[in-house]
Amino acid sequence: MRAVITTPANVNDTVPADALIRGDEAAVYADKAYDTHARRARLKLAGVKPRLMRRPNRYHPLTDRQKRFNDLIAVRRAAVETTFATWKRRMGLTRVRYLGLAKAAGQVLLTAMAFNLRRAAVLTA
């Protein structure tokens, strides 16, 4: 994990998403919820490849090419989703234990640090 942002439960995950982009990434992978024309344009302007899964709507269903594109992105995203599964299953972050955003952010940050230390130990061994 390179960055963590903790928000209240009434804030959608897509709102702080742009703040997580550092600018030195080659590509950004995200699911359909993050797909907007504005976000794609901002990423292209920054020189980052927008690998956002395409979202169909009522009047514009996905083409076969877009469906294949989504499948390729899903394979890459699966590795990232295991991070959150590890946080929940192995590190017990199914619920935040503290009241208040600052304390909750501290718990999430400590979980991310522990995950990174565990991962570094495995990679260097």
In a domain, 102, yes or no: yes
Number of C-beta neighbours around residue 73 at 10 A: 19
Cα–Cα distance, 95 to 37 (Å, whole number): 33
In a domain, 60, yes or no: yes
> 122 versus 1: which is more confidently predicted?
122
CA angle 40, 46, 27 (to 5 degrees): 65
pLDDT value for 67: 95
pLDDT digits (tens, 9 = 90+) for 21-32: 888 889 999 999
pLDDT value for 21: 87
For the whole model, what pTM was predicted?
0.78
pLDDT value for 22: 85
pLDDT digits (tens, 9 = 90+) for 62-121: 999 999 999 999 999 888 889 999 999 999 999 999 999 999 999 999 999 999 999 999
Contact predicate 26/44, CB 8 Å: no
In a domain, 41, yes or no: yes
In a domain, 10, yes or no: no
Domain range enclosing 25: 17-124
Q: How many domains does the chain have?
A: 1
Tokens for 27?
A: 């590509």
pLDDT value for 6: 93
6-23 mean pLDDT: 90
49 φ, ψ to 5°?
-75, 120
In a domain, 7, yes or no: no
In a domain, 8, yes or no: no
In a domain, 9, yes or no: no
Q: What is the mean pLDDT of the chain?
A: 92
Asked if pLDDT for residue 125 goes beyond 80, the answer is no
Among residues 80, 66, 24, 17, the alpha carbon closest in space to that of 49 is found at 24
In a domain, 52, yes or no: yes
pLDDT value for 79: 84
Contact predicate 2/110, CB 8 Å: no
